[in-house]
Structure 1
């Protein structure tokens, strides 16, 4: 077994597992070179934090998909959720629970979606760890069945 925490080991293993993808190494590192993400990090800039702890903060999404859509963001600039420290991930989860309680009081949603995009292929456009907490409301979509599976529309309903 290789060192799983090493980027080079991960790339080698991923390339071995998916030999039909010659650009796999580029795809894995895409969040570092994605032209959409070029420029200063909007999450590193000061913002209006609704909630915070030592390692993470909660902000409103500037392009919300639902009323109350929040982001839970690491304070340290790190692109990949799996590269965040255990303490940072625990801080994100602690704030996720606080943010859910805040949304329940302020917006009274009927449900929630929680999501993390990791890498360009998943839709990540800002290479800084952030967790989406999206309040959901009865009737906000004709058929919510499948929830986050909707990122691949043909797989949403089953």
Structure 2
């Protein structure tokens, strides 16, 4: 059925005798535009009148995507381009001129008539980019939770099993680190005492610090996965099924919150927070070894 004043609906209904149609099935129609940007430029439209991407149904999106892939292959075989732009514009600000969703398949060659389609440079601050990324991610998570079916109990159980396996592995790695360090420090400090070698004692203390850093990161990772475990177990927030990324358990940044700077994100990625260093599994064990090392260093 032709929607009034929609030239693409006329093409769909075969009411435009001048159109150069290249493909048609029960879901989409593809044709050359009257003024192609380059030779081989094809428009692909859904047969139903859909104004823009926000009005497109999921099954229509799937049908449209399959047709786009098919036509992209056909264009490549027919005109042998060096590249291909797939462009879909929505709204006047995005240069949509026909209010019927359409996908441009534009074969490209170096120095062709299209020219560059992106600005050479933008000047958005890192904070603004981070803020926008968090806003979009939060919005997508909310939308996903509203359309996805409830998680099956069996899938939740498997997800929890996967996370628990990682937690167990991190805990075992922490124990192994302590187990390896004890004979190293015993040998190093003992030899430093017998040989009166303060450099060897200092080397032993460096080993303690390195193992402490390693162990603190194991503990931090374990805590992050425990938080993910609790999020999945309590269903307090929607997270991707079977995700093993602890970031998915993080709460969205509040509307008035400021995103972390790049420097702070780097520090947070590599340096465990104070609570980790002060935990019972890190501070007492490694502080005691450092005190022993300091004593050996003084005596040696």
TM-score range, shorter chain: 0.5 to 0.7
Partner of 1:84: 56
1:59 maps to 2:31:
yes
Partner of 2:101: 129
Query: Aligned runs of 1:68-79 on 2, under 5 Å?
Result: 68-79=40-51
2: CA distance between counterparts of 1:98 and 1:140?
24
User: Which range moves more in the overlay, 49-58 or 91-100?
Assistant: 49-58
Tell me the secondary structure at the aligned position of residue 43 of structure 1. helix
1: CA distance between counterparts of 2:117 and 2:101?
18
Q: Which runs of 5+ in 2 are unaligned?
A: 123-300
Query: Aligned runs of 1:112-127 on 2, under 5 Å?
Result: 112-127=84-99
Partner of 2:21: 49
Distance 1:66 1:155, change over 3 A: farther
Tell me the secondary structure at the aligned position of residue 104 of structure 1. helix
Contact 2:37–2:113 (Cα < 8 Å) also in 1: no
Superposition TM-score, scaled by structure 2 size = 0.35
Tell me the secondary structure at the aligned position of residue 73 of structure 2. helix
Q: CA deviation at 1:114?
A: 0.7
Write 1 or 2 for the structure with the bigger share of helix.
Answer: 2
Q: Which runs of 5+ in 1 are unaligned?
A: 1-38
- Output one character per residue of 1:24-79: Cα deviation in whole Å (capped at 9) or x when no partner: xxxxxxxxxxxxxxx62111112543112221111111121111100010101111
Number of aligned residues: 112
Contact 1:53–1:91 (Cα < 8 Å) also in 2: no
Q: Which has the higher contact order (CA 8 A, sep 6+)?
A: 1
2: CA distance between counterparts of 1:139 and 1:43?
30
